[in-house]
Amino acid sequence: MEDLESKCASLRTKIAATEAQLAKLKRELQEAEDARSQNAAAAAATANATTKEQPQTRSRWPLSGEEYRRYGRQMIVTQLGLQGQLKLRNAKVLVVGAGGLGCPAALYLAGAGVGTIGLVDGDTVESSNLHRQVLHRSKNVGKLKVDSAIEYLQELNPHPTYIAHRAHLAPQEAPDIFGNYDLILDCTDNPASRYLISDTAVLLGKPLVSASALRTEGQLMVLNNPPRPAGSKTGGPCYRCVFPRPPPANSVTSCADGGILGPVVGTMGLLQALEAIKVLSSTEEKAEATPPSLLIFSAYSTPQFRAIKLRSRRPNCAVCSAEATVTLESVRSGSMDYVFFCGTVDPEDSLSPEERVTPLQYRNGESTGPGRHVIDVREKVQFDICSLENSINIPMSTILASAYSAPAKDADGQKPLPSWLPSQITDDANNPIYVVCRQGNDSQTVVRTLKELGLHRGGERVVVDIKGGFRSWREQVDPDWPEY
């Protein structure tokens, strides 16, 4: 056993060293690519200067011959026309997030000929992104998303100017970044970012196209359109007008936890691009005549789309009303704390160390006794992908639903055991219970629930969770465990 532990420790040390070396190589590659980009920009500037010195013949047409050929099919659409195309060429659009929403949105904005497209993202490409984030390719895994996306966009259409903002959007920098663009696309996936983006867009007078997607459903809104000063009743509502309070932090599910179908988030990103083109190419009079609405998409419903009319600006909105309390200074200074406003969840502190075991401790049989029960609280669709031998699947959704519907006490004054508990666990009062989930969060909640039901027998029976769930199981015990 000691030899195995030593071998595992040695392998972990080698992996850490290799990862450090890989990180160093990525930094060097990024520096080289930045230098190459700077050289290319300098060469282009020199070429432009040389061209300007030479006498040029004024063209009869506002677009180049190549642009007429490239954009001709959309320019003959009545709603766009030549004037709409010229507006697109002169427009500057900022896409915040180069993921599942931002990729298709940027792809079609570039294809349509938007003059300047900025991309904001601090993440790198992972293989788990590739089924839905269509600008990234397998060869770019490990590369910054904005650089990967711009590489693809430049191949698609070399006419627009692409600007990379290689960091997550921060309140201190958001106003300065937004100020250089005409329209903002919110392609992020968390409430704190959505409130920050909306607040900054409203304070700077920028219209905003916001979307979200999870599992098989999506939502879309065009906000602050037309943009008007705070207190003006003719301006479009902002994100705070629609959602004055953020959802409970423990109710927010990410794509990593809840899952996402690629075409679903792709549909919402395409709709963002479409709405952006409509906003950029239309007039303010048309924007004022278009009532705000929330578009809801559900892939497995009939019909798949439905729209809900939104109210105009709230008279007490903290950003766009006459009683506004959020200002550019409060955003820049950090006094408007978006993370605190939206709340945080720290499941790592939910249980004491005595109520948790590591995957290695579980595998080695520490504190287990002669037998043990393993409850896997992932949803059945995940349980079917991979599971521990002889484990029992009780989905977290089933446990939560029972908690809301079960009576507090039975006729004898005792709290009844819920129906989702199998008999082999309730009839056995001695063998320990281990609870496992995907990342070690839900399992802690279930351990507390089991103890509230009295299954730990006042501490005589072991009821613990496997710390870190199957994410840690793969790292510590079985490297071949499916990573999904």
Hey, what are 311's tokens?
Answer: 């109210």
Q: Is 320 annotated as a binding residue?
A: yes
- The question of whether 437 is a catalytic residue gets the answer yes
For residue 285, the number of C-alpha atoms closer than 13 Å in the C-beta half-sphere is 0
Round to whole Å and give the CA distance between 474 and 484: 11
Q: Is 176 annotated as a binding residue?
A: no
Q: Is 100 annotated as a binding residue?
A: yes
At 36, is the secondary structure helix, strand, or coil? helix
Q: Is 306 annotated as a binding residue?
A: no
DSSP string, 155-199: HH-SSSEEEEE-S---TTTHHHHHTT-SEEEE---SHHHHHHHHH
In this structure, are residues 90 and 106 in contact, taking their beta carbons and an 8 Å threshold?
no
Which residues face 183 on adjacent strands? 93
Q: Is 187 annotated as a binding residue?
A: no
Residue that has been written with the tokens 């943009």 in this structure: 227
| Position 71, amino acid | Y
Residue that has been written with the tokens 């990024």 in this structure: 30
Q: Is 431 annotated as a binding residue?
A: no
Catalytic-labelled residue, pool 8, 255, 342, 386: 255
Q: Is 397 annotated as a binding residue?
A: no
Q: Is 450 annotated as a binding residue?
A: no
Round to whole Å and give the CA distance between 180 and 50: 27
Catalytic-labelled residue, pool 103, 187, 342, 437: 437
Q: Is 386 annotated as a binding residue?
A: no
Q: Is 378 annotated as a binding residue?
A: no
Q: Where are the beta strands (DSSP E) in 347-430?
A: 356-357, 373-376, 392-393
Q: Is the dihedral of CA 123, 127, 132, 135 positive or negative?
A: positive
Q: Is 342 annotated as a binding residue?
A: no
Q: Is 317 annotated as a binding residue?
A: yes
Q: Is 405 annotated as a binding residue?
A: no
List the catalytic residues: 255, 437
Q: Which residue numbers belong to the known binding site for ATP?
A: 100, 121, 128-132, 145, 189-190
Q: Which residue numbers belong to the known binding site for Zn(2+)?
A: 238, 241, 317, 320
Q: Which residue numbers belong to the known binding site?
A: 100, 121, 128-132, 145, 189-190, 238, 241, 317, 320
